[in-house]
Amino acid sequence: MGKWRPPEPVISKQRINEQIRVTPVRVIGADGAQLGILATDEALKQARAAELDLVEVAPNERPPVCRIMDFGKFKYQQKKRQHKGHSHQTRIKEIRVRPKTGDHDIEVKVAKAREFLSHKDKVIVTVIFRGREMAHVEEGRKVIDDVLEQLADVSKIEAPPAHHGRRMICTLAPK
């Protein structure tokens, strides 16, 4: 494992102010109005007069399109938009119960499962059978059905209850 390094600074792909060497350019004002095709020096003067920056927004056009705007504010909004695009990574959470788990304990576990589902996580409900409990699988089925009934308003069944060895498993997804 390598040594921790600070993240690399983001290098702007857009040219601003004196970095724009192409002349003439099509200029869009701070209010969004077309100012027409101007020499780069003239466009820079107008941007300075408005105390803003001249930013190249479409470098591949002929002539290139530049906009008069506050570049710092623009970069901030772009970064904010980029972070907003990150969606929640769905995780799988599990609650485990036994056929003889008490009612209050089940209520606590259901409340926790409800919290997981509200955070858009999937929940696996597992009933674990030990020893002679295997002879009374119907007791475990009652427990899992009770949990499913309590969570019916916030979840949908992704995988119905199925018996896997000493476990009965059901998967719930948020509605």
pLDDT tens per residue, range 112-139: 999 999 999 999 999 999 999 999 999 9
Domain locations in the chain as residue ranges:
17-83, 92-174
| 72-113 pLDDT per residue, tens | 998 898 888 888 776 778 899 999 999 999 999 999 999 999
Amino acid at 101: T
Which residue's structure tokens are 């907003």?
Answer: 84
The architecture CATH gives domain 17-83: Roll (3.10)
Fold of 92-174: Translation Initiation Factor IF3 (3.30.110)
Global pTM exceeds 0.85: no
For residue 132, give the H/E element and its range.
none
The 10 Å Cβ neighbour count of residue 165 is: 9
Instruction: Give yes or no for a cis peptide into 24 (omega within 30° of 0).
Output: yes
Q: Which residues contact 117 (CB under 8 A, 6 or more apart)?
A: 123, 151, 154, 155, 172, 174, 175
Tell me how many degrees the CA angle 63-65-71 measures, rounded to the nearest 5. 150
For residue 114, give the H/E element and its range.
helix 103-118
Contact status, residue 144 vs residue 127, Cβ threshold 8 Å? yes
| pLDDT surpasses 80 at 18 | yes
| pLDDT surpasses 60 at 8 | no
The 10 Å Cβ neighbour count of residue 126 is: 17
